[in-house]
Amino acid sequence: MTSQHPDDRPEQNTGSPAVPGPESYGLPGMPTGGMPDMSGMLAQVQAMQSQLVQAQQELAETELTGSAGGGLVTATISGTGELLNVTIAPQACDPEDTESLADLVVAAVRDANTKQQAVAAAKMGPLAGGLGGLGF
């Protein structure tokens, strides 16, 4: 068995490597000190909240009408998706064919719902995109 002289041993790293701070990664919202700009983020969140409330109020006041059968059946819903009214023209009422009338009602409600979803996406979508600026 041979013994090694202390100078013949491989070098061992006893120190821990330097770990870079968040500022070195260039994270958004992280100034050079590594702390987020909380007052700026808070102001941005408050502005978004105000815009969200306004968009929700506008949606609640919006009415959208869908139709089927060339207008024989119409359905009106609110911007929040609540069914408000269904109108059926007398010509659509055939006691021998209630199934077709039911299909027209469903189609009119679906048409109104599709319009409501498009309006809601147009009003709310830009607000959801604003979250990216907060680093989320």
Task: Report the sign of the C-alpha dihedral through residues 24, 26, 31, 34, in that order.
Answer: negative
pLDDT surpasses 90 at 68: yes
What's the whole-number average pLDDT of the chain?
80
- Give residue 136's pLDDT band: very low, low, confident or very high (50, 70, 90): very low
Domain spans in the chain, listed from the N-terminal domain onward: 37-130
Overall average pLDDT of the 125-135 stretch: 63
pTM: 0.59
Q: 3-state SS string over the chain? A: CCCCCHHHCCCCCCCCCCCCCHHHHCCCCCCCCCCCCHHHHHHHHHHHHHHHHHHHHHHHHCEEEEEECCCCEEEEEECCCCEEEEEECHHHCCCCCHHHHHHHHHHHHHHHHHHHHHHHHHHHHHHHHHHHHHCC
- Give residue 19's pLDDT band: very low, low, confident or very high (50, 70, 90): low
- Give residue 50's pLDDT band: very low, low, confident or very high (50, 70, 90): confident
Q: Hey, which CATH number is domain 37-130, 3.30.1310.10, 2.60.40.10, 3.40.50.720, 1.20.120.330?
A: 3.30.1310.10
- Give residue 40's pLDDT band: very low, low, confident or very high (50, 70, 90): confident
Q: Which residue has the tokens 């498009």?
A: 118
